[in-house]
Amino acid sequence: MSKRALQIATALLGAVPVITGVVGLMGLSDPLYAALHLPQDATLDSNMRFFGGVWLGLGLSVWWLVPRIDQQTALFRAAWLMIALGGLGRLLSVAMVGLPLLPFVGFTVLEIVGAPLFIWWQNRVVRQSHMGASW
């Protein structure tokens, strides 16, 4: 439960939106969507690229806060809140459309269960750093 462990876990998890955000900027040419043989639609492609860019930005923000993880509570919580809201969107999709590919089921669990756990972990790190500073 150390600060260093939280930094490492956060940096590793931050790689997911960075990498998939870059790939998402490919729009419908993204290998995942290209394999689905979706019809070429300018609006869908535009939205896919937009959300790829937003996702990339979230990942870069997460990487930016890693060195200051015990000082950037608001940004840390905001990032995980956005991830949790995305997970709720995935749950809505499951309820309305059905199960996605298996890796996306795992992402959903991480987004819904991981968000409160990471927020709790960061809160412990902040409290420990403040306790250590008072000594």
pLDDT digits (tens, 9 = 90+) for 13-43: 999 999 999 999 999 999 888 888 889 999 9
| Separation in Å, CA 84 to CA 22, 41, 81, 132 | 21, 28, 5, 31
pLDDT of residue 33: 86
**Locus of tokens 């600060």:** 3
pLDDT digits (tens, 9 = 90+) for 53-107: 999 999 999 999 999 999 999 999 999 999 999 999 999 999 999 999 898 999 9
DSSP 93: H
pLDDT of residue 120: 97
Residue 85 has a CB neighbour count (10 Å cut-off) of 12
Q: Report residue 129's pLDDT band, with 50, 70 and 90 as the boundaries.
A: confident
Average pLDDT over residues 118-127: 96
Domain definitions of the chain by residue range: 3-133
pLDDT of residue 118: 97
